[in-house]
Each structure stands twice: as structure tokens, then as C-alpha cells.
Amino acid sequence: MKKRSIVIWLALLLVLLLGGYYYLVFPSINIHETIFWMTLGVVFVFSAVVSVLISSRGKRELRSLSAVPLVSKLLLGVGLLFFAVLLVGGLAGSPVFRARSYASLLQVENRDFAKDMEESERVTDIALMDTESARIFGNRKIGSLADVVSQFEVETDYNQINISGKPVKVASLRYASFFKWWNNRKNGIPGYVQVDPVNSEAKYISLAQGMKYTPSGYFNENLLRHVQLHYPTKIIRGYYFEIDDAGNPCYICPTMTARIGLFGGMDVNGAILCDPVDGSCQYYPVKDIPAWVDRVYDGELLTQKYNWMGTLSDGFWNSIIGQSGCRETTDDYGYKTIGDDVWIYTGVTSVTGDQSNIGFVLMNQRTSEAVYYSVSGAEEHSAMAAAQGEVQEKGYRASFPSLINVAGVPTYIMVLKDNGGLVKMYAMVNVEQYNLVATATSQSQVFSDYKKLLAANPGDTPAELEEKTADIVVEEIRFIPGEDGTVVYIMDQEHNVYKQPFVDNESLVRIATGDAIRVTYEEMEDGIHYLIGYTFR
């Protein structure tokens, strides 16, 4: 009777421990999750040991295997079986044996850079501001709101999303401490921060109803616990804060599964969308995820999948010893908005690390679609160093660059920041010849200066950049202010238009309607040509 009581109490204790462990850790109940098998193995081995200790009547009996009860042997055998599944499952999904399976997880399409990438006159689809600078702008905006800053902080992770074809960085607020969560849990988190990474502007968005289910919440209001308890069999990896086209907040929680063996090649198979205001959750397979969602595949996962393809296509041992044809992405990436989606961009280099790129890859964060461009030249860090060298006396630091098309020429564009993380200048670097560098305090000026560099080096640029001249009579001249300064537009009697930033040539103010002038320009397909210079006739 005494033994039976001990067994009952130990069973109750085990149930309580498992329940507490599940609530605190909330692991997924899924055969592709290693912690699932490990937990089962520990429970059964522990139960076997307890069973032996309870059943034994003396130290002598503990030394005899035949004296061990059958139930204890069965419990131990099942526990060891679970650990064996861990071992065998791990080996079955190892790149050592399944290298080509890993290499096939990402399908990459080869395209032509000059044909596929639209020419840029001004960057509006690339987040030139990095996350570090976005944090500074966001914290400054919140710091000006006394009623918010006393109770909340801004999340450190800014998510890159697309709103109406333009890049935006967003971050939710978070509770500053447990006690501030306790005091504000009824109303929830009141808003989020939105940063324009192109124009370096931040604003605070106040919500009509507060967000109660967030990563900084506690107990049942913790986001990951809330979502995992709703979908206990899903393997959830992280979360991303987004807003839909109407400005409503939502957390995107990607779900994972093993593509190779039992545990290998973990990849996204769907996402759970959680409304942080009312806590409602909805699961979508990858193919059915709403179009407004921008981030399902994390940049680290996408680059890892590309590296598997680039290094394991010819087998595991080739990736270690011969490394014939092996390539990998550089150690960072940027973002580019294309259509309704946000793509990550990164260079591709040889595994030998020769400080140069052999191409570039764009990968879609919603669908994992990948496109490769064979464009050789300087890798990103070399371009960053070249840009910093142009203003070395200022001590500015370059952000990770993005790739654009300037008159058919692959070009890096980046921002230069001071020690406080604030954007001070723009820089453009020629990919193929990174000694061609232009820096300026505005986008329009840096484009202007860079095009002059290209025009001065016709041997390194395509024919479209050759200077042309024309004798015209001015029909109309306009000075139009913009975000980067005033731009002068001159229209001739044939309705051709020539433009130039006023800061680049202040003598343009001398031109009047009816003047006969000779213009030097770069021809553009849209009929609005880039003016290089002029003389009166």
C-alpha cells in the first residue's frame, strides 16, 4: 500500500513537472522537432529509474538485472528507443549523406541584369537606411511622447515591409518591465513606430485599440506562448511585426518542417497570422499566404538555402576538400521592393574569399523565389571601404549597399553615417571598377556626380552614356523644388525636356524662354534627358 501511494504521488509530481515545463517552454508536439523526442526519452528513462527504486527491496536486488521489474525494462527500452530515433534521424538528414537534397531546396533562375533591372533615376524602392539608424529615429520619436516613453520602449528589431510599393521599417512598442506590463495590460500596447528608410523620417502610429498579445507580454498574453498553445503541433520559429495596407498590426509567425529525413533541411511550410489586438490566429500554407504579407522567409534562412545550393551541388566532400565550383553569399544583405513583395539582395562570391563577387542574388521573403545575376566586380565590403575612403576625413561609416542599374551599369548605392548613426551623405560605387566613386549630400546630386564619372570614362560604360549635343530654342523653363533640392527642367520647341539639379549649375537661372542654346546631354528613353551643360548661341 505504501509503494502504491509513492507511485501515485510520483506520477502526480511527474505530471505537474511536465505541465509546468510545457507552459514555460511551450515546445511543439511534432515528430520533426528534436526536443519532442528528447523530452519523451527523458520522461521514460526517468520513469524506469523511479520504477526500479520503488520495486527494489534491498541493495542486493539492485545489482541483479533479473530482479528488475518487466515494467521498468519496458519503460527504459522505450526511452532508449526515443534517443535512438534522435541519433538515426539526425544522421539520416545530415548533409554528409544528403548533400544533393540540401542543394535542391532552393531553385534559382538566371537572368540578365541590364534587361531585368529597371534603370534608376532616384531610389524609392530600396531601404538605404539600416536598422541601426532606424532605431535612432524611432527612439527619438518616442522620446518626444512623454505619456508613451514612461511606460514603453521600441522593439529593437525593425521589420522591412512594403506599403504601396515603397519600403517601410516598422517596430512595435514593448512593455518596459513586468510591472509596467501589469499596470498597462488592460489597455495593451498603444501603437507602433513607422520609419521611412528612404527619406529618413519616423512617425508614431497610435492605435484605436491596444495590442495585448505581444512578445513582451507575460503569461497567456505572451505572443509565442499564445500562438503555440493555439497550434501545439506546429513548429514555430520566431515572429515578425507587420501592418497591412490599412495600417492594422499583425504578427507573422512562420511554421517549419523538415524537408530532408526526420530533422534535416528545416524550411518554411506556412505561417500563422496573429492579430495582437484580439488574439485571433489563422494558419496559412505558403501558397495561400495573403499578398500583403512581406516576410515569411527570414534573410538568414534564404542565404543558408542558397549556400546549401552553392556548396553542396557537387556533393558534401567536394564542399570540404576540392571546393570545385563552390560559391556562397556574402556575410550581409539588403532589401529591395519589387511589386508587392520585399526581396533580400546579397552578393555571391567564391568560397576562396578573394574579395570580389561573381554575381548577385535576389530572394523573395514571401515565396522564396530566387533570381541570380552574373555580374562580376567588387564585393560589398570593398565598395563600402571605397565610399568611406572618399570622405575619410569625416570619419563616416557606410551602410550595407544595394545594387541598382544606372544606364545599364551595375552600381552600388549606400548611405554614409556619422558616429551617432545619422545619415549624412549618399555614395555610389561602380561594381566593376570600384575606383569610380561619387558622394554627395543628396540623392539627386550623387546621381548627377556619378553620371558625370561614367561619362568621363566611356571605355568602361555602354554607349547609352555617350554625350550628345543639340541646338534648341527654349520653349519653357521651370524650377521645381523637390525633397533633394530644386531641379531645373528646360523644354524646347520640339517638346524635348532636359533636366539638371540647380545646385549643380546655378547659371541655369540665366536662361529664359526664347533663348537659343546648345545643350550637351545624356539621352534618356522617356524623352526627359539629363543635362550636362549648355552654351548660348
Residue 265, strand partner residues: none
**pLDDT, the chain, mean:** 88
Architecture of domain 467-536: Beta Barrel (2.40)
| Rounded Cα gap, residues 402 and 334, in angstroms | 6
Give domain limits for the chain: 2-92, 131-296, 300-375, 380-463, 467-536
Torsion of CA 31, 37, 40, 41, to 10 degrees: 150
Q: What is the pLDDT confidence band of residue 351, given thresholds at 50, 70 and 90?
A: confident
- Chain centre distance of CA 244: 18
**Other CB atoms within 10 Å distance of the CB of residue 286:** 17
Higher local confidence (pLDDT), 521 or 93: 93
Report which residue type is found at 444: S
Report which residue type is found at 203: K
Can you tell me which residue has the cell 520640339? 494
pLDDT at 356: 83
- Per DSSP, the three-state class of 328 is strand
514: left (phi over 0), alpha (psi -120 to 50) or beta: left
Q: Are 150 and 161 in contact (CB under 8 A)?
A: no
Residue count of the chain, please give it: 537
Within 8 A by CB and 6+ apart from 283, the residues are: 231, 234, 255, 270, 271, 272
The counts of H helices and E strands in the chain are 14, 27
The 3-state secondary structure of 434-474, one letter per residue: CCCEEEECCHHHHHHHHHHHHHCCHHHCCHHHCCEEEEEEE
Backbone φ, ψ for residue 147 (5° rounding): -75, -20
- pLDDT, tens only, 422-468: 888 999 999 988 889 999 988 878 888 898 888 777 654 444 445 78
- pLDDT, tens only, 212-267: 999 999 999 999 999 999 999 999 999 999 999 889 999 999 999 999 999 999 99
C-alpha cell recorded at residue 139: 527612439
Overall average pLDDT of the 499-507 stretch: 80
Q: What is the pLDDT confidence band of residue 107, given thresholds at 50, 70 and 90?
A: very high
Q: What is the pLDDT confidence band of residue 360, given thresholds at 50, 70 and 90?
A: very high
Q: What is the rounded end-to-end Cα distance, in angstroms, of the chain?
A: 116
Q: Global pTM?
A: 0.82
Please provide the DSSP assignment of 17-31 as one string.
HHHHHHHHH-----T
Can you tell me which residue has the cell 534521424? 89
Within 8 A by CB and 6+ apart from 59, the residues are: none
Q: Are 293 and 162 in contact (CB under 8 A)?
A: no
Torsion of CA 257, 262, 265, 269, to 10 degrees: -10
Evaluated on CA atoms 432, 434, 437, 441, the torsion sign reads positive
Apex CA 286: angle with CA 280 and CA 288, to 5°? 70
Tell which residue, 413, 409, 401, 473, has the closest CA to residue 445.
413
Going by the DSSP 8-state scheme, the letter that residue 156 receives in this structure is S
| Rounded Cα gap, residues 170 and 335, in angstroms | 14
For the chain, percent of residues with pLDDT exceeding 70:
93
| Rounded Cα gap, residues 106 and 307, in angstroms | 10
Can you tell me which residue has the cell 534648341? 472
Task: Considering only the C-alpha atoms of the chain, give the largest distance between any 2 of them, rounded to a whole number of Å.
Answer: 116
| Rounded Cα gap, residues 158 and 494, in angstroms | 49
pLDDT at 484: 56
pLDDT at 77: 94
- pLDDT, tens only, 194-227: 998 877 788 999 999 999 999 999 999 999 999 9
Helix axis angle for 34-55 and 70-92, nearest 10°, is: 160
Task: Please state which of the ranges 101-110, 177-186, 325-334 shows the lowest mean pLDDT.
Answer: 325-334
- pLDDT, tens only, 6-17: 778 878 888 898
